[in-house]
Each structure stands twice: as C-alpha cells, then as structure tokens.
Amino acid sequence: MNTYTLIISIAIITYVLRVGCWLGNVRGAGWLERYLRAVPLTILAALIFPAVLVRDGGLRIDLGNVYLLAGLLTAFVAWRSRNAILTITVGMVGIILLKLTI
C-alpha cells in the first residue's frame, strides 16, 4: 500500500469517528447523557496523570521528577486562587525554574 493511500485511510477513519454520531441519528437518550457527564473528567485525568507521573517510560513518583513537583504546585495554586492566568503562569515559571535547579 502506497504511503499516501494509508494516510488517507487513517484520515477517513479518524474523521468518521469524529463526525459519526453528530451526523448519525444517535439520539441523546437521557440515560446516555447521564453517564457521559463523566467523560470530561476522565479525559482530563488521562491527559494529566501519565504526563506528570511517567517519564522516559517509567513511573516516577519521587522528588526528582520536576513534572510531578510542578504539577503539584499548579494544583495547589489552582485550588487556592481559582485564577486560571495566575495558575498557568506559576506552573510554567515553576517548571522552568525546577528544570534549571534540579
């Protein structure tokens, strides 16, 4: 199979997965909506935990893991301040300073 044919196949499959239920007649049944309300939380967890806990393919729950330290700092500032701009600024300055020092 030609590489471009393969890329087009992947692109079509990915697009169909994205568009399918929007164009299809999948009715937002009450019970389904009720259970889908957890989806954003699960995706946030899945994007955060591995990104801060797994480095170079290994689990790193220790004080030498700057991503874990910066993640905890970010979570603390987010919890106390409830201010997105402040939180993200502190988190990013934090990771850069941590990388410079550790």
Partner 1 sequence: MNTWKDSFREGIMLTLPLFLGAVPFGLAYGIFARACGMSFGECTFMSATVFAGTAQFAAVNMLYEGTMPLTIILVTLIINTRHVPMALSLKPYLAGLRRPALAIAAFGLVDESYIVAIDQFQRKGEGDFPFFIASAVTMYIAWLGSSVAGYLMGSGISDPLAWGLDFALPCTFICILISRLDSLRTVVIVVISGAVATGFALSSYSGAGLLAAIFSGVIADMLLFRQSGVEEAT
Decide if residue 63 touches partner 1 (CB under 8 A).
no
Are 28 and 34 in contact by the 8 Å Cβ rule? The answer is no
| Residue 55 main-chain phi, psi, to 5 deg | -125, 135
- In the bound state with partner 1, the residue whose beta carbon lies nearer, of 41 and 63, is 41
Structure tokens at 9: 């196949």
Under the binding rule (CB under 8 A), the answer on residue 92 touching partner 1 is yes
Q: Does 102 bind partner 1 (CB under 8 A)?
A: no
**CA separation for the pair 102, 97 (Å, rounded):** 9
* Residues forming the site for partner 1 (CB under 8 A): 1, 3-4, 6-11, 13-15, 17-23, 26, 28, 30, 32-54, 57-59, 67, 70-71, 74-75, 78-79, 82, 84, 87-88, 91-92, 95-96, 99
